[in-house]
Chain A
């Protein structure tokens, strides 16, 4: 962890932000909101949010556009037909497409969060249809309540296969799911003993995944009494879920994880900051309420949160694509993002994607620059659909100097030192008879700045 410590007063931290002279509602705050609650914004969205003010802007992101449900249904159908091939490459491409076009980017951002949290991987499941069902399940609860989500995941074939828990019989209880449930999905490590895991495993006996289908075989279920975390009863799986949800470690773990996802990964927040939110979450496990509190808060809109995350590869690439109001071939993008360490549908291990500093090494930085070059160069494999000059001109900047500054504002909203910005505009692309080519080079220079790697 870095040295910064977060000792804010919790009442102030979580109270809703209201603009004032010292903390105006400006482009920087708007950009920050869109980076965290989505995958970045285009110029119109930034301007609209600026004029809406923080309450309305957050509201829109929480609810999504009016056609969000229909949009998602359509995409579900596309994905379902893509699973025929068996490989998850097409699924990966569809999800990226969805993230780019969705009227409800916050829903996709939180679906991605849960995908990382449960870390079910097609590398172990090897079944695109089951993975499609799994992510649909995550999406349906992503901004809902955690209890039904956890119950559903406990009986999800993809999750069981991913954890090598497709056979759990009375004579030989399989602890893999129970361990993951208690140590990864809810309370976290160190909050239960080996005995609790063993007993919890007994509660889940009788559940199998056979020929890619979930099956319950009653005679293989151990209906005896189990002792889990101090409670006793002839528990089934859903009872164990209920028990772990009642432990205070569970809401704390979730709040900390969502804090890292939405607010900051630069410093571990003090317990005092987490407690009020954990207490709230424990009553009903309403994730959307937690997310709303965080997104509306003083802390969220303060310098303690701005540029305090490192963009994962998906956020990095989509920030470029959404900013430039275009579309790109997402099969290729899925592959390129996998090379940068974020292979959708394939978290590397049960611990998900550790993220943060781990996204960054020499190879991934070169990879990001080369991906940006491929996206912006106007040639194969991404084509010329991302056109910085067209976007700049659309928003009234046909003069080369002002077009360059426009790109800086579009992508960085002022989160870059003035002298760095000046030096970039001077050296990135000096005199070029071709204004489109020149602006592409400036765009590339902007998105490869260290500042742009921070969310």
Chain B
């Protein structure tokens, strides 16, 4: 049986006015809801944005291992040719990023060089705010770019959640919206309905539901019959709206439970033992549950100033973070690929700035400017985009940008999600040609 969500809801609302999420919608209703919803959401593209807080040292992430200027400026922090994972004759991934090397070779990773913006700020809070709002220098901007995107898709009568934050820090400004309520999720449990304490022999209740499920439809009706005048539609639009939402919420909860069960069984995808990987795993499970969420936002590095901010003894800490980043993203990509979902997913990483080319006296680096952005997904052209910014023509000690980060956002909005980037970003930014197929 295949029918659209609209058909299903119309049928469901005509047969049952009882939508108490707590009492539980009968099994047959929720099965239909499950089937209908996966038909509707199939094909929806998904954007996953990973915030790296602190200012990621792009120069040691994608290393110009043949460049003398690099080696001279970084006596203790430089990575050498023998240690890096070579991308080409000039650049290589940091030694701890072999997972990204593998993704790159599989064509699932793109490197966007020199991403930044004009007159950048070297202050963590200001720079991060600029990237999160996509309105640099507008100190009074109260919404984030993804919050605005979420507001844009909150159409009339829609009860879908357009975007979620998956993480444990306070929800970042990026997702601050005027009208959409964007949830913060740190465990799947928040996405499922918690049941009230029931007698140990709760099977009696389950049997009832199963019985209801087995009865031919006509016989089910009397139990849940709706009064003559209560056919929903124009009579009570507010109530209908909430009923519809309740039904879909119930069905969504069931699907999340099913996705979680599948994950627990043998043969489920493996993730490395990092906190960040756990968050990406939650993202994967929510994607699998086909809830209609288009935007996922997660983070590595925590709150301001952020774990990537290495002013001293950078080597070990940065290496550890890069390992977490690359292994977790790779696990996520392979998880999606196994379930044939990767073609619908685009992941991007960003950080509020790069670092200075020259290391400081404390085996660390200062705040820079431009840095690389990584894209991962199933529909990428792969490879590198743009020139690696040279190390002699600098701005405030850091590399200069050539690609405005809002072009990356526009690419994701226009070409991947099918949203209107101009209304979200406040201006037209030319998307980048990074996708094999796009809208």
Contact = CB atoms under 8 A, between A and B. Distances in A.
A266 interface: yes
A444 B204 contact: no
Contacts of B156: 357
A433 B156 CA distance: 46
Interface in B137-181: 139-140, 142-143, 154, 156-157, 159-161, 164, 176-181
B371 interface: no
Interface string B218-249: 00000111110010001011110111011011
Contacts of A432: 198-199
B191 interface: yes
Contacts of A400: none
A444 B292 CA distance: 27
Given A418-B227, A444-B22, A454 B245 contact: no
Given A360-B245, A361-B161, A376 B17 contact: no
B22 A373 contact: yes
A349 B178 contact: yes
B385 interface: no
B19 interface: yes
A366, A417, A454 interface centre (most CB from chain B within 10 Å): A366
Contact of A360 (B19, B183, B205, B241): B241
Contacts of B183: 339, 363-364, 367
B266 interface: no
Interface string A424-455: 10111011111001001100111111110110
Given A423-B18, A427-B24, A454-B238, A349 B198 contact: no
A306 to B, nearest CB: 11
Contact of B20 (A164, A370, A448): A448
Nearest to A3: B234
B196 A348 contact: no
Contacts of B164: 363
B227 to A, nearest CB: 5
B45 interface: no
Contact of B198 (A3, A307, A350, A437): A437
A367 B190 CA distance: 7
A419 B18 CA distance: 9
Contacts of A420: 17-18
A365 B246 contact: yes
B193 interface: yes
Given A348-B177, A354-B178, A454-B242, A427 B23 contact: yes
Contact of A362 (B24, B195, B252): B252
B140 A361 contact: no
B23 A366 contact: no
Nearest to A369: B21
B196 A424 contact: no
A399 interface: no
A359 interface: yes
Given A3-B237, A349-B143, A419 B180 contact: no
Given A424-B23, A430-B208, A446-B20, 20 more contacts: A308-B238, A310-B238, A339-B183, A339-B184, A351-B178, A354-B178, A354-B179, A357-B156, A357-B241, A361-B161, A361-B180, A362-B245, A364-B181, A366-B193, A369-B21, A370-B193, A432-B199, A437-B197, A446-B22, A454-B238
23 contacts: A348-B176, A349-B143, A350-B142, A358-B154, A358-B181, A360-B245, A361-B159, A361-B160, A362-B249, A362-B291, A365-B245, A365-B246, A369-B194, A374-B194, A376-B196, A418-B227, A419-B227, A427-B24, A433-B199, A437-B197, A441-B22, A445-B23, A449-B19
Interface of B: 17-24, 139-140, 142-143, 154, 156-157, 159-161, 164, 176-181, 183-184, 190-199, 204-205, 208, 223-227, 230, 234, 236-239, 241-243, 245-246, 248-249, 252-253, 291-292
A-B complex: 9 closest residue pairs judged by Cβ atoms = A448-B22, A341-B181, A450-B242, A365-B249, A445-B23, A428-B23, A363-B183, A349-B142, A2-B237
